[in-house]
Amino acid sequence: MGFCVFLFFYGLGQFGLLGADEPRYAQVAREMLARQDCITPTLNGIPWLEKPPLYYWQAMIAFAVFGVRDWAARVPSAIDASLMVLGAYLFLKKLRPGFHLDGALMTASVAGVIGFAHSGSTDMPLAAMFSLAMLCWYGWWELSSKSLLCGFYVFLGLAVLAKGPIALVLSGSVIILFALAAGKADLILRTLWWPGGVLFVLVSAPWYVAVQLRRPEFFRIFFLEHNLARFGSDLYHHTQPFWFYLPVAVLALVPWIAFVVTAIFEIARAWWAERMALVETGDALNVFLFLWLVVPLVFFSVSRSKLPGYILPAIPAGSLLAAEYVRRHVGDEKPSRWLIIAHALISAAPIVPAIGIGYIVIQRRLPWSSLTFVAAGVALVVAIGIAVTLSSKLGWRALYFVTLIPVVLAVAALLRIGSPVVDDTLSARPLAAQLTGMEITPMPLAVLGVRRETEYGLNFYRNQPVRRYELRQVPADQHLLVVPQGAGPAIPEFVGNRRVSYLGAFPPQHLELYWVAAVDSAHEH
């Protein structure tokens, strides 16, 4: 619990909402709360039907309890990540007692889980609910517990409410492949248990039916455009190479990636030696975790649209796979030499970018400076300490302790050192504060040529629609205008002879701020 509080909740408000999704989803939740409407998501009063409501509902509760704040928009993801870790703990305590704390700590400490626990988006709610569903399903298979099968259907319904039918596709694929690997096709039919199906429908269907009845365009927008079209085309300009998710998964599983890779090779060797009998030899959980890890990676690699958060549901399987590897080998005198070296270097490596995060954000690279060499020196000392400890008589017993030290150091450095720079350069929060300080009374706000991240960020932090000049959304009243640095001469093209005054700049994001007078009513007439 202590590690969950630190790794997931600490620093939620250290920097403002980032990207386009965080402020956009937070604003949708705010509007739903203001209207007391749990059915139709809206953005600036217009239906926003791209995503299901689970995150919005959670954020509405957080806003109702804590007020509408940016850090409150991230609380749902932090809670969901904690629930996922608790689920891993209880799962291992029941099925692999003695290693439940280890597996929970490994799941909590991987980079992908920590990162998305600090993100106000739909990725962590999906990953948490999907992971809990998969843990329940495997627990049912091994223990023949109907209550766990009920849990599978309930959490699967919540996963569908988190991000849509993708949860059904991924879970069905993993279960079918596992049944084939086990040589038990009847397992598929046994999974299709009608009381569980009723639970699934009761959890997931009411909102889909209600929103479809209220907004007939929902089916086209949500299912056809934002699921099928997003998968089969580059409609939303998120194209990446086929191998994109391989490095993403490697980074998301730091610091335990060396153990994950070793576990995969060990499973592959065992499978090659025993073929389909592998599931019958006590390694069924490893096969299940392997399929759970690989299926989302392959599925989304085929997709034309790729974003890092898409494969988050696979990451807990990787951490549990590493935990299973440690459980099988904890009786060994100590880990192998190459595994010790690889794990030590990987565990300590994040300290370098964590200390130099300010340079990375501004310069997009680590500079050759004294700070970089100091950070590299600290990381090397930590790596040597990890390697020496794991090579000593302590061996496996010290693994989690020495690994969590650099994780805590890296997270603390990222939040304490990097937050001011991240806030200034990537968030609209300080920009919105500067604009508010320039007003005597609140005014409409417009942008010209700025990133959509800035547009949606200003939308949330000022709680008002942001007009776009490019779309000919030029307010008739006096208003504030945000443009990229040097774009001031283009303003008259949109406002004609209206008076325009330069108010100042926002250097961290290379933006300029202007005041534009209202349309002269006599001239307009």
Q: How far is CA 49 from CA 37, 355, 392, in A?
A: 14, 40, 57
Q: Which is nearest to 128 in space by CA: 82, 71, 75? A: 82
Rounded Cα distance between 320 and 286, Å, is 9
CB 409 within 8 A of CB 354: yes
Residue 525: its pLDDT value, please? 35
Q: Which residue has the tokens 């139709």?
A: 40
The alpha helices in 118-165, defined as continuous H runs, are 123-143, 146-163
CA torsion angle 383 355 240 301 (round to 10): 40
Phi-psi region of 19 (alpha: psi -120 to 50; beta: other; left: phi over 0): left
CB 33 within 8 A of CB 62: no
Long-range contacts of 212-220 (CB under 8 A, 24+ apart): 214/39, 214/40, 215/40, 215/47, 215/49, 217/47, 217/49, 218/49
Can you state the percent helix, strand and coil of the chain, rounding each to 5?
Answer: 70, 5, 25
How many CB atoms within 10 Å of residue 408?
Answer: 13
Residue 363: its pLDDT value, please? 67
- Sequence-separated (6 or more) residues with CB below 8 Å from residue 247: none
Question: In this structure, are strands 500-506 and 511-516 parallel, antiparallel, or unpaired?
Answer: antiparallel
Rounded Cα distance between 156 and 113, Å, is 19
Rounded Cα distance between 347 and 378, Å, is 12
Residue 234: its pLDDT value, please? 60
Domain ranges, ordered by start, for the chain: 2-330, 428-524
Q: How far is CA 42 from CA 47, 54, 161, 452, in A?
A: 4, 14, 17, 17
pLDDT (tens place) for every residue of the chain, 525 residues total: 899 999 999 999 999 999 999 999 999 999 999 999 999 999 999 999 999 999 999 999 999 999 999 999 999 999 999 999 999 999 999 998 888 898 999 999 999 999 999 999 999 999 999 999 999 999 999 999 999 999 999 999 999 999 999 999 999 999 999 998 888 888 999 999 999 999 999 999 999 999 999 999 999 888 888 777 666 666 555 677 888 999 999 999 999 999 999 999 988 887 776 654 556 555 789 999 999 999 999 999 988 778 889 999 999 999 999 999 998 888 777 778 899 999 999 999 998 888 877 767 666 676 677 777 888 898 999 999 999 998 888 778 888 889 999 999 999 988 888 899 999 999 999 999 999 999 888 999 999 999 999 999 999 999 999 999 999 999 999 999 999 999 999 999 999 999 999 999 999 999 999 999 998 743 443
